[in-house]
Amino acid sequence: MKRAYFITFITCIIAVAGTFLFTRLFKADGDKVVKVGFIYVGDASTGYTGNFIDAQLELEKVYGNKVQIMAMYNVAEGTESEYLQQLVDADCDIIFSTSYNFGVTTKEFAMKYPDIEFCMATRDNANEEPYLANYHTFMGAIYEGRYTAGVAAGMKLLELIDKGVITKEQAKIGYVGAYPYAEVISGYTAFLLGVRSIVPDAVMTVKYTYNWNDYLIEKKYAKQLINEGCVIISQHSDTVGPAIACEETDVSTPVYLVSYNQSMADIAPTTYITGCKINWKPYVIGAVGAVMKGKSIEKTVKGKVIGNDMGAGFDEGWVEMLKLNDVIAAEGTDEKIAEVIDGFRKGKIEVFKGDYTGVNVDDPDDVYDLSVGYQENYNSSAPTFKYILRGIITIE
259-299 confidence digits (pLDDT tens): 999 999 999 999 999 999 999 999 999 999 999 999 999 99
Q: How far apart are CA 21 and CA 15, in angstroms?
A: 10
- Global pTM value: 0.90
Kind of pairing between the strands at 357-360 and 203-208:
unpaired
Domains 30-139+281-313 and 142-279+318-395 share a fold: yes
Helices 241-248 & 215-227, crossing angle to 10 degrees? 40
Per the document, the length of the chain is 396
Q: How far apart are CA 335 and CA 128, in angstroms?
A: 42
Nearest partner of 301 among 282, 320, 315, 314, judged by Cα: 282
Residue 319 identity: V
Q: How far apart are CA 287 and CA 278, in angstroms?
A: 16
- Within 8 A by CB and 6+ apart from 17, the residues are none
Q: How far apart are CA 315 and CA 100, in angstroms?
A: 24
- Within 8 A by CB and 6+ apart from 321, the residues are 145, 148, 149, 274, 275, 276, 337, 341
Kind of pairing between the strands at 319-321 and 272-278:
antiparallel
Nearest partner of 383 among 95, 38, 121, 108, judged by Cα: 121
| H/E element, 44 | none
| H/E element, 175 | strand 172-177
pLDDT tens across 317-349, in order?
999 999 999 999 999 999 999 999 999 999 999
- Residue ranges of domains in the chain: 30-139+281-313, 142-279+318-395
Bridge partners, residue 203, by sequence: 172
Phi, psi of 274 (to 5 degrees): -165, -170
Homologous superfamily of domain range 30-139+281-313: Response regulator (3.40.50.2300)
Per-residue model confidence (pLDDT) at position 23: 34
Per-residue model confidence (pLDDT) at position 252: 87
Class of domain 142-279+318-395: alpha beta
Residue 310: Cβ within 10 Å count: 25
pLDDT of residue 26 exceeding 70, the answer is no
Which of 27-31, 43-47, 125-129, 154-158 is least confident? Answer: 27-31
Taken in order 282, 285, 289, 290, the sign of the CA dihedral is: positive
Q: To the nearest whole number, what is the mean pLDDT of the chain?
A: 92
Bridge partners, residue 275, by sequence: 259
The percent of residues in the chain predicted with pLDDT above 90, rounded, is: 90
Half-sphere exposure (Cβ direction) of 281: Cα atoms closer than 13 Å: 17
